[in-house]
C-alpha cells in the first residue's frame, strides 16, 4: 500500500474541523518527521489564505522543556495565527467552534519592526517589540483524544484554535518577563499557575527562536505581527459556561467566556 501523501493528510486535518477528530497521522507521518509535518501545515496555511483568511502573527508551542521531553523532541514548534482566531478581550467563544479545547496563559508581543535576520537574538527581538500583553491561547486538536506526537501537532497548525490578547499592552522596558507570575482563573478559582521563565527561560528566547525559524523559511516576522511566546503553566480543559481569566503580574490580564 502506498504511503498517504502530505496533501491527503492536509485534507484530513481540514475536514476534522467540521467532521470531528481523526486518529493520529501515523500512516503518513513518522512521529518525529518535522519536515513532513511542516509541509502539511504549509499546505493548509496556503489553502486557508486562498480562502481569504489573513495571517496576523505566529504562535510558539512546546516551549516548556517538560512538554518537549514528553513528545521526545528538543525544539519548540510554531503555527499560524489568523485574524479570525482572535477572540475579543472579555468576549465569548462559542463551544460549537471547538472540538476538545484547552486554555493556557501566555505572554504575547506585538512587533513594531520586521525581524528578517537568520541570527536574531533575544535582545534584537526586544528592540522590535511595540507592546507586551497578557494572552490566553485556546489550543485544540483535530487528533482524537489529544494522542499527539510532535508531527501530529505541527501538521495540525501547532494544535492552535483561538487566542485572546489583552486590550491594554505595555512597553517592554522595565518589565520582568522571566519572573512574571501567572494565574489562570476559571470560574473564580485558580486553575493554573506559572511564571514567565517557563517559555524557554524567557519569552524573548521563544520569540527569537520563532524569528530565526521563520526567517530561515523565507517568511520572516513583520511589524504588526502578534507573537504568542508559549504557555506559562499547565493547560486547562474547557467546559461550556466557563469564565476564564489570565493574570500576569506586572503585565496585565485578559479574559473570555466559553459559551455560545
Q: What does the block give as the cell for 39?
A: 509541509
Are 127 and 192 within 8 A, CB to CB? no
Share of the chain above pLDDT 90, in %: 94
- How far lies 215's CA from each of 8, 129, 157, 225, 228, in Å? 27, 17, 18, 14, 17
Q: What is the mean pLDDT of residues 101-110?
A: 97
Q: What is the mean pLDDT of residues 17-42?
A: 95
Angle of helix 6-19 versus helix 34-50 axis, rounded to 10 = 60
Task: Please state whether the predicted TM-score (pTM) of the whole model is above 0.85.
Answer: yes
Are 59 and 175 within 8 A, CB to CB? no
Mean residue pLDDT across the chain: 96
Domains parsed from the chain with CATH numbers: 6-258 (3.90.850.10)
Are 31 and 197 within 8 A, CB to CB? no
Residue 2 has pLDDT above 60, yes or no: no
Tens of pLDDT, residue by residue over 226-236, are: 999 999 999 99
Q: Identify the pLDDT of residue 3.
A: 80
| Cα–Cα distance measured from residue 134 to residue 72, given in angstroms and rounded to the nearest whole number | 29
Share of the chain above pLDDT 70, in %: 99
Q: What is the mean pLDDT of residues 170-195?
A: 97
The dihedral formed by the CA atoms of 163, 67, 14 and 17, expressed in degrees to the nearest 10: -60
Q: What is the mean pLDDT of residues 250-254?
A: 98
Question: Which sign, positive or negative, has the C-alpha torsion 146, 148, 150, 155?
Answer: negative
Are 98 and 73 within 8 A, CB to CB? no
Tens of pLDDT, residue by residue over 197-232, are: 999 999 999 999 999 999 999 999 999 999 999 999
Question: Which sign, positive or negative, has the C-alpha torsion 254, 257, 258, 260?
Answer: negative
- Name the helix (H) or strand (E) containing 182: strand 181-186
Better-scored residue on pLDDT, 129 or 74? 129
Residue-wise burial string across 238-249, b where 16 or more C-beta atoms lie within 10 A, e elsewhere: beeebebbbbbe
Residue 137 has pLDDT above 50, yes or no: yes
Looking at residue 259, the DSSP 8-state letter turns out to be -
Q: Identify the pLDDT of residue 1.
A: 40
Better-scored residue on pLDDT, 1 or 176? 176
Q: Identify the pLDDT of residue 231.
A: 95
Residue 115 has pLDDT above 90, yes or no: yes
Amino acid at each position: 500500500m502506498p504511503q498517504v501523501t502530505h496533501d491527503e493528510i492536509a485534507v484530513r486535518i481540514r475536514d476534522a474541523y467540521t467532521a470531528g477528530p481523526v486518529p493520529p497521522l501515523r500512516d503518513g507521518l513518522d512521529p518525529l518527521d518535522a519536515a513532513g509535518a511542516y509541509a502539511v501545515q504549509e499546505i493548509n496555511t496556503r489553502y486557508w489564505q486562498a480562502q481569504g483568511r489573513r495571517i496576523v502573527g505566529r504562535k510558539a508551542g512546546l516551549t516548556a522543556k517538560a512538554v518537549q521531553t514528553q513528545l521526545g523532541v528538543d525544539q519548540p514548534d510554531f503555527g499560524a495565527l489568523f485574524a479570525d482566531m482572535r477572540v475579543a478581550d472579555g468576549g465569548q467563544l462559542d463551544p460549537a467552534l471547538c472540538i476538545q479545547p484547552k486554555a493556557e496563559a501566555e505572554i504575547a508581543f506585538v512587533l513594531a519592526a520586521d525581524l528578517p535576520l537568520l541570527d536574531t537574538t533575544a535582545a534584537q527581538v526586544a528592540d522590535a517589540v511595540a507592546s507586551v500583553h497578557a494572552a490566553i491561547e485556546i489550543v485544540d486538536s483535530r487528533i482524537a483524544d489529544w494522542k499527539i506526537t510532535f508531527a501530529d501537532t505541527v501538521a495540525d497548525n501547532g494544535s492552535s484554535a483561538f487566542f485572546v490578547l489583552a486590550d491594554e499592552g505595555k512597553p517592554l522596558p522595565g518589565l520582568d518577563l522571566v519572573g512574571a507570575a501567572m494565574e489562570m482563573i476559571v470560574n473564580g478559582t485558580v486553575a493554573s499557575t506559572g511564571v514567565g521563565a517557563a517559555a524557554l527561560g524567557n519569552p524573548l528566547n521563544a520569540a527569537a527562536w520563532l524569528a530565526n525559524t521563520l526567517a530561515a523559511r523565507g517568511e520572516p516576522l513583520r511589524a504588526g505581527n502578534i507573537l504568542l511566546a508559549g504557555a506559562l503553566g499547565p493547560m486547562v480543559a474547557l467546559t461550556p459556561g466557563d469564565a476564564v481569566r489570565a493574570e500576569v503580574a506586572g503585565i496585565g490580564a485578559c479574559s473570555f467566556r466559553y459559551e455560545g
